[in-house]
Structure 1
Amino acid sequence: MDVTIAYIEEPPFGWTDDAQGITGADIELAETVLKSIGVARIAYRRTTFDALLPGVQSGRWDMNVPLFVTRERASQVAFSVPVWAIGDAFLVRAGNPKGLDSYRAVAARDDARLGIIAGQVQHRSAQVAGVRDDQLVVFQEQAEAVDALCTGAIDAYASTAVGNRILAARIGTAPLEAVEHGPAQVEGLHAPLGAFSFSKHNGRLLGAMNERLRSYLGSADHLARMAKYGITEREIGSAIAASR
């Protein structure tokens, strides 16, 4: 069996390295599990976030890297058991000059501009907290948002706590820092939970993945692999607990 996985450029979850190889925490987890269930060949399709769900629905690829599970998304695709639980954070310029440590802090400042990726749950979380549309700047890819932050076009970039911690450590062109805050409490939105997604017609692959994930998640091998990317036992354990 061959499987094609769609991914986006979003370290530490997945990205194209300098040698044009595909790497990252979600990529390594997918590879490890797929190989253990007998998948002979794994191919990768780089795409944008807003194309992930339509692409897997239409059969352009077999599965997506993990993304946050929401009720709306679950009506479109089939999710695996959760593989991580991660709250939100902002990436800001060093010193956080506008004191942005939550969505409400952005909403309270008319001069604050928040960058988000099209279709990600941070958009909805910001709106629920009172951030106005004219304060939001929407990007297609993470690299565009980071460039805008470095040039001062935006004051903060909203993404996951893990992702922004890694970005702050990796980017050497401008001093940036990650500011963590709790996940938004939105009715019907389980923001911290991330899972692989599949077409609702691909129950065979989903079932095989889930069976293996249930026995593998939280194992010593799994924890060691994820630790390389900054994903901790706490973030994995919370996902395991949520699926019981």
Structure 2
Amino acid sequence: MNVTLAYIEEPPFGWTGEHRVATGADVELAETVLHAIGVTRIEYRLTTFGELLPGVREGRWDMNVPLFVTAERSEAVAFSVPVWGIGDGLLVRSGNPKALDGYAAVAALDDARLGIIAGQVQHDVAKAAGVRDDQVLIFEEQREALDALRSGVIDAYASTALGNRIVADRIGLGQFDAVACRPVTGTAPSTPLGAFSFSKSSRGLLDAVNTQLRAYVGSPDHLARMAKYGLGEDEIEPALRAIQAARR
């Protein structure tokens, strides 16, 4: 059985490593689960975030690395059980010159500019917090957003708090600081959940992956594999709680 997995360049979740081999926390989780259900060959398709959902929906590949589950996205694709839960964060230039600590802080400064990857949920959250369209610059890939942040075109890049910490620590070269976003006033505290996604016609593959994920997420082997990439119990526990709640 062969499966084609789509991924994007977004450490620590996925990226193209040495010898152009796909690697990362989400890639390794997919490999572990797929091999456990009998998949003998995995092909990797590097794409952009904006192409993940159309690509899997149209059958250009079989499975996407995890992304946040939303009601709108669930109309287009079928999601697996969740595999992590992670809040938002901002990546800013070292020293955080505009003292940005969340979307509301960006909205409060007329000259603050926020970079977001096309199609990511951070755009909707930022708008709900009052960030205006003319304050937002949209990029296709993380690399482009980091270049814009480095050069001062934007003042902050919005992504997951974990992903931004990894970028700042491992590849930021002292140029960036990661800041966890303050909760948006008036919203209930919650941790957005991420899951693999499939075409709605791929019921067999989805069911097999879900069966394995329910048995594997939160296991010692899972935690050890994810820890290599900076994902710990804080990121895994929200997904595990959701899986357990669904069983009741």
User: Which TM-score tier does this pair reach, normalised by the shorter chain?
Assistant: over 0.9
Change (3 A) 1:183 1:74: farther
Residue aligning to 2:45? 45
Residue aligning to 1:57? 57
Give the drift of 1:18: 3.1
Change (3 A) 1:170 1:48: same
Q: Please state if 1:158 is matched with 2:158.
A: yes
For the Cα contact (< 8 Å) 1:183–1:191, is it kept in 2? no
The number of aligned residues is 244
Give the drift of 1:172: 4.5
Corresponding residue SS for 2:146: helix
Change (3 A) 1:149 1:107: same
Residue aligning to 1:95? 95
TM-score, normalized by length of structure 2?
A: 0.94
Q: Could you tell me how far apart the structure 1 residues matched to 2:171 and 2:12 are?
A: 13
For the Cα contact (< 8 Å) 1:69–1:191, is it kept in 2? no
TM-score, normalized by length of structure 1?
A: 0.96
Residue aligning to 1:219? 219
Matching of residues 94-243 of structure 1 within 5 Å:
94-173=94-173, 175-182=175-182, 192-243=192-243
Q: Could you tell me how far apart the structure 2 residues matched to 1:172 and 1:240 are?
A: 31
Corresponding residue SS for 2:18: coil
Corresponding residue SS for 1:19: helix
- 1:23-80 CA-to-partner distances (Å, cap 9, x unmatched) read 0000000000000000010000000111111100110000000000000000110000
Give the drift of 1:191: 6.1
- 1:141-188 CA-to-partner distances (Å, cap 9, x unmatched) read 00000010000010000000110000001225552110012565898x
Q: Could you tell me how far apart the structure 2 residues matched to 1:232 and 1:47 are?
A: 27
Give the drift of 1:234: 1.7
Which AA in structure 1 matches 2:166? Answer: I
Q: Could you tell me how far apart the structure 2 residues matched to 1:116 and 1:186 are?
A: 23
Give the drift of 1:241: 0.6
Corresponding residue SS for 2:69: strand
Q: Could you tell me how far apart the structure 2 residues matched to 1:68 and 1:30 are?
A: 16
For the Cα contact (< 8 Å) 1:83–1:240, is it kept in 2? yes
Q: Could you tell me how far apart the structure 2 residues matched to 1:153 and 1:198 are?
A: 36
Q: Could you tell me how far apart the structure 1 residues matched to 2:186 and 2:42 are?
A: 36
Give the drift of 1:6: 0.5
Change (3 A) 1:208 1:227: same
Corresponding residue SS for 1:170: helix
Q: Please state if 1:28 is matched with 2:28.
A: yes
Q: Could you tell me how far apart the structure 2 residues matched to 1:237 and 1:191 are?
A: 10
Percent of paired sites with the same residue: 67
Which AA in structure 2 matches 1:142? Answer: Q
For the Cα contact (< 8 Å) 2:168–2:174, is it kept in 1? no
Residue aligning to 1:10? 10
Corresponding residue SS for 1:95: coil
Q: Could you tell me how far apart the structure 1 residues matched to 2:176 and 2:50 are?
A: 26
Which AA in structure 2 matches 1:234? Answer: D
For the Cα contact (< 8 Å) 1:87–1:182, is it kept in 2? no
Structure 1 segments, 4+ long, off by >3 Å, are 182-187
Structure 1: which 5+ runs fail to align?
A: none
- Which range moved further: 154-163 or 178-187? 178-187
Change (3 A) 1:144 1:59: same
